Chain A
Amino acid sequence: MNKEIAITAYKCKKCGKIHYPFHDRCLECKGREFEKMHPEGDATLLAYTVIFNLPWGFDQRFLILGVAEFENHVKAMGQIKADSVDQLKTGMKVKPSWEPIKKQYGEDVYGLKFEPME
Chain B
Amino acid sequence: MRDVAIIGAGMIPFGRRDEDTLMEMLAYASLKALDDAGLGDKTVDAVYVANMGGGMLQHQSAIASSLVDRLSLLPAAAETIENGPASGASAIKNGLLAVASGYYDYVLVVGGEKMREVTGWRATDFVATMTHPQAEYPYGITLPGMAGMFTRLYMEKHGVTREQLLAVSLKNQEMGTLNPYAHVEMALDRGGIFDSPHSVVNNPVSADPLHLYDLCPVSDGAAAIVICPLEMAKKHNKTPIHIAGFGQATDTQTLQEREDPTDLKAVSLAAQKAFEMAKLKPSDIHVAELHDAFTILEIAESEHVGFFKKGEGGKAAAAGKTRLGGQIPINVSGGLKARGHPVGATGVAQMVDIVWQLRHELPKNRQVKNAQNGLTVNFGGFGNNVLAFVLKRVE
> Which A residues fall within an 8 A CB radius of B?
19-21, 27, 46-58, 63, 65-67, 75-79, 85, 90, 101-102, 109, 111-112
- Shortest distance from the beta carbon of A114 to any chain B beta carbon, whole Å: 11
Chain B interface size band reads: 35 or more
Residues of A within 8 A of B120 (CB): 53
* Contact (Cβ within 8 A) B142 A55: yes
Interface stretch among B17-25, B78-86, B122-130, B235-243?
A: B122-130
Which of B139, B144, B153, B205 is close to A77, meaning CB atoms less than 8 Å apart? B139
- Shortest distance from the beta carbon of A55 to any chain B beta carbon, whole Å: 4
- Shortest distance from the beta carbon of B297 to any chain A beta carbon, whole Å: 15
Residues of A within 8 A of B312 (CB): none
Q: A21-B132, A54-B124 are known contacts. Are A46 and B256 too (CB-CB below 8 A)?
A: yes
Residues of B within 8 A of A78 (CB): 139
Which of A20, A57, A65, A90 is close to B145, meaning CB atoms less than 8 Å apart? A65
A90 to B153, CA, bound (A): 9
Question: For chain B residues 140-190, which have a beta carbon within 8 Å of chain A?
Answer: 140-142, 144-145, 148-150, 152-153, 156
* Contact (Cβ within 8 A) A27 B152: no
* Contact (Cβ within 8 A) A49 B145: yes
* Contact (Cβ within 8 A) A50 B205: yes
A interface SS class? strand
Residues of B within 8 A of A76 (CB): 135, 256
> Which B residues fall within an 8 A CB radius of A?
120-122, 124-125, 128, 132, 134-136, 138-142, 144-145, 148-150, 152-153, 156, 204-209, 252, 254-257, 261
* Contact (Cβ within 8 A) A50 B149: no
Residues of B within 8 A of A54 (CB): 121, 124, 140, 142
A76 to B120, CA, bound (A): 27
Q: Most B CB atoms within 10 A — which of A49, A54, A63, A102?
A: A49
Q: Most B CB atoms within 10 A — which of A47, A58, A63, A75?
A: A47
- Shortest distance from the beta carbon of B178 to any chain A beta carbon, whole Å: 28
Residues of B within 8 A of A20 (CB): 135, 256-257
Residues of A within 8 A of B256 (CB): 20, 46, 67, 75-77
Residues of A within 8 A of B254 (CB): 21, 77
A54 to B148, CA, bound (A): 13
Closest 5 CB pairs of A and B: A49-B148, A55-B125, A56-B125, A47-B149, A21-B135
Residues of B within 8 A of A66 (CB): 149
Residues of A within 8 A of B138 (CB): 101-102, 109, 111
Residues of B within 8 A of A21 (CB): 132, 134-135, 254
A58 to B122, CA, bound (A): 11
* Contact (Cβ within 8 A) A19 B257: yes
Could you show 5 A-B contacts with beta carbons less than 8 Å apart?
A: A20-B135, A47-B149, A53-B207, A55-B125, A109-B138
* Contact (Cβ within 8 A) A48 B149: yes
A76 to B141, CA, bound (A): 13
Closest to A58 in B: B140
A33 to B75, CA, bound (A): 48
Residues of B within 8 A of A58 (CB): 140
* Contact (Cβ within 8 A) A79 B140: yes
Q: A47-B152, A48-B152, A51-B144 are known contacts. Are A75 and B257 too (CB-CB below 8 A)?
A: yes
* Contact (Cβ within 8 A) B252 A101: no
